[in-house]
Structure 1
């Protein structure tokens, strides 16, 4: 059995072991388990029932992550995206006034478009056209984005006031101090090359939080999942085919395209899966998994899915093959019944792992082209706007617009590929039509 697993996932070729892959899968799951509760909680604001939405979230994550492991054989976890869920709940439903059924219909249409674009090779062609300097900027930008999420989640950095949007949190808070301790514990374990450093840090901090009264231990360990019936196949596809809804479909499409592309490249970079040209071999496989899972998610009653940036935590724990994803997927399946346990992991336990991973993802800074202004400006906009707008898509679209502009004004028009022009046009349309 061990030899079969080794050969199927090519674990030895990647310099890994079965135990390391399993620990990596557990690490990834632990850092993104919050989505089980957070996603349905956000969608509840749109009128989607919490219980069925939670089940839809879990099943989507299980299917997508398992397919990523068995079909694409990559250590990437898939689940409903943060950002897209808020866009659907607060902009499309709350502000624009559409029903959640119609909004989910837009998710279905976007997913089907992605299936078509992926199977015809259009997505792969567009991604391969992106300059290496922009790709490196994606990694750095996502790293800082993750860092900011971790700092804010743990209370180390908090929202401020006009004129000072953010400031240092309450360092006398026990929770914040525990988060800082968790950060240095993980860093120490990594420095000593201890396997599973991140998950050890998360577990130790969670147990400590129980003893200090910061978090409450679970009162039960197993519970039956709610029925999926209120959301299953409740999407309104025909209602999405209206002129006023085009901007919504376009926004969903572009957001998913950009988020998946940037995240996929970033986590592949950390895993050492890119070739000498900075491309991910057989990229169409993870792209197809992303597209098909989004279609399934809409049928179940939840929002756009894609590769989760938290996959990087499992990669830092040593995950290099699809066995990492299979492990994460099985834990998502177990989560259908273990929700009482998973929801007790406090932010001070999982937040520091995001900071650690964000720190490690700034490595491509050394490869950025900074002595050519036509390359530096787009990369700078990508990195800064990803973090400062709290939106990966905004940073990437700004970079796609700035790149051809800077090449034109510096007399380097020949360096602009057709794929970049297409991405530039899509980005301009995004800024024009996206409801801000």
Structure 2
């Protein structure tokens, strides 16, 4: 019996080593100074940080007349497909899903305000995704990355960090914004939701300060629990529910109606915002994960570009526009995520939500707000790399940060920072620091601000 037990123990150890070695070979965990346990916790943290999108995205699309139950199921499906592809193909800790900006354009701007059929909006988003895919396969997107000055790349972290922190403050109710002017003001700190966020923020500070593993994840759960007696966290009557059919929204895109001259400005909105959002997320979150090289570039960046362009093309087919690598990925990176294994863990959590949607919806956005605030703060610290002693380097970075704040879009902020860089360098007579490629890129950026961003 002793020999048999020893044999079983030996076999178990061999199986464990074999499993570990497979994970090591597939995700290079040791090379990235991480472990399978850390990656799984990071994936769960990313999922919780982005779970509010399972409520927000369907709500925005429902504003434009799309069925909320169908879009909820479709949102989960595209999260799973995009994130699995990202984890397996790129081995990067990014989650892929629908961005708020694209859903606002389709559900609120196009369908509800401009009275453009949501089917046409999906067609426009699909064409934008196809253009992404073509440019990625042609290598044009990685060329743009090489054209971007190092100072702008280093300032991306500060710009996106501010965006993430502001999103956290708004989700917490600590800051409110005028829907028309986007002017910011302090919120009511006595509201139950804001109190929940403050509890979570205090928990996050205590746990982070004591370097507790999974501190952000624990802070989210503590805040959600605090919301129960305050009436913010609503426990579902049943944790499980069958997912709604996606038939009402899937394969409903109208490409023919999208191929019109009047649709071009909206096509450019989808294209420009997604392009710079993905660019900023990959570089800023990659820097947070210490995956960039000495030139502030992400090695093999064409891989995540290819994944998000495929996702941006597939999403509208299933009824969800504007898929991209999400800034909420920074939550997983802050929790230690360094490889695609954390992406797979996040995807598994999203897949579970097909049956446990009531559980995901029970986590209020106020509970995840503290994580976004702290993550944004840590990413904003990268602004220290800016050459403040050279105003031609500092002014474009500052304009990028301020435009992100004023427009509530880091895609617009990045585009503005690049345009400002070209103009400032040329006006200052520093022609050699501006490549011809960057000058050419400034033309569509100028068109973007002239036709889309300017007040009407």
Deviation of 1:25 after TM superposition, in Å, equals 0.1
Equivalent-residue separation in structure 1 for 2:221 and 2:402 (angstroms): 33
Equivalent-residue separation in structure 2 for 1:163 and 1:40 (angstroms): 24
The residue matched to 1:226 in structure 2 has which SS?
Answer: coil
Note the alpha carbon deviations across 1:100-152, whole angstroms, 9 max, x for none: 11110011111111111111100000011111111122210111111111111
Asked if 1:400 is matched to 2:400, the reply is no
Deviation of 1:96 after TM superposition, in Å, equals 2.7
Asked if 1:372 is matched to 2:379, the reply is no
Q: TM-score, length-normalised on structure 1?
A: 0.97
The residue matched to 1:185 in structure 2 has which SS?
Answer: helix
Asked if 1:298 is matched to 2:307, the reply is no
- Contact 1:25–1:328 (CA under 8 A) maintained in structure 2: yes
Q: Provide the residue aligned with 1:347 in structure 2.
A: 365
Asked if 1:198 is matched to 2:216, the reply is yes
Q: Provide the residue aligned with 1:268 in structure 2.
A: 286
Aligned 1:237-386 pairs, distance under 5 A? 237-386=255-404
Equivalent-residue separation in structure 2 for 1:316 and 1:213 (angstroms): 29
Aligned 1:21-420 pairs, distance under 5 A? 21-159=39-177, 165-420=183-438
Q: Mark the CA change 1:246 to 1:163 in structure 2 (over 3 Å): closer, same or farther.
A: closer
Unaligned runs of 5+ in 2: 1-18
Note the alpha carbon deviations across 1:368-406, whole angstroms, 9 max, x for none: 011112111111110111012211122112112111111
Q: Mark the CA change 1:212 to 1:161 in structure 2 (over 3 Å): closer, same or farther.
A: closer
More displaced, 426-435 or 70-79?
426-435
- The RMSD of aligned alpha carbons is 1.7
- Contact 1:404–1:413 (CA under 8 A) maintained in structure 2: no
Note the alpha carbon deviations across 1:7-33, whole angstroms, 9 max, x for none: 210011111010000000000000101
Q: Mark the CA change 1:406 to 1:310 in structure 2 (over 3 Å): closer, same or farther.
A: same
Q: TM-score, length-normalised on structure 2?
A: 0.92
Unaligned runs of 5+ in 1: none
More displaced, 260-269 or 89-98?
89-98
More displaced, 332-341 or 317-326?
332-341
Deviation of 1:421 after TM superposition, in Å, equals 1.9
Q: Provide the residue aligned with 1:430 in structure 2.
A: 448
Deviation of 1:163 after TM superposition, in Å, equals 11
Deviation of 1:184 after TM superposition, in Å, equals 2.2
Equivalent-residue separation in structure 2 for 1:18 and 1:147 (angstroms): 28
Deviation of 1:175 after TM superposition, in Å, equals 3.1
Q: Mark the CA change 1:245 to 1:26 in structure 2 (over 3 Å): closer, same or farther.
A: same
More displaced, 421-430 or 120-129?
421-430
Deviation of 1:168 after TM superposition, in Å, equals 2.7
Equivalent-residue separation in structure 1 for 2:115 and 2:234 (angstroms): 38
More displaced, 215-224 or 177-186?
177-186
Count of aligned positions = 436
More displaced, 93-102 or 44-53?
93-102
Q: Provide the residue aligned with 1:10 in structure 2.
A: 28
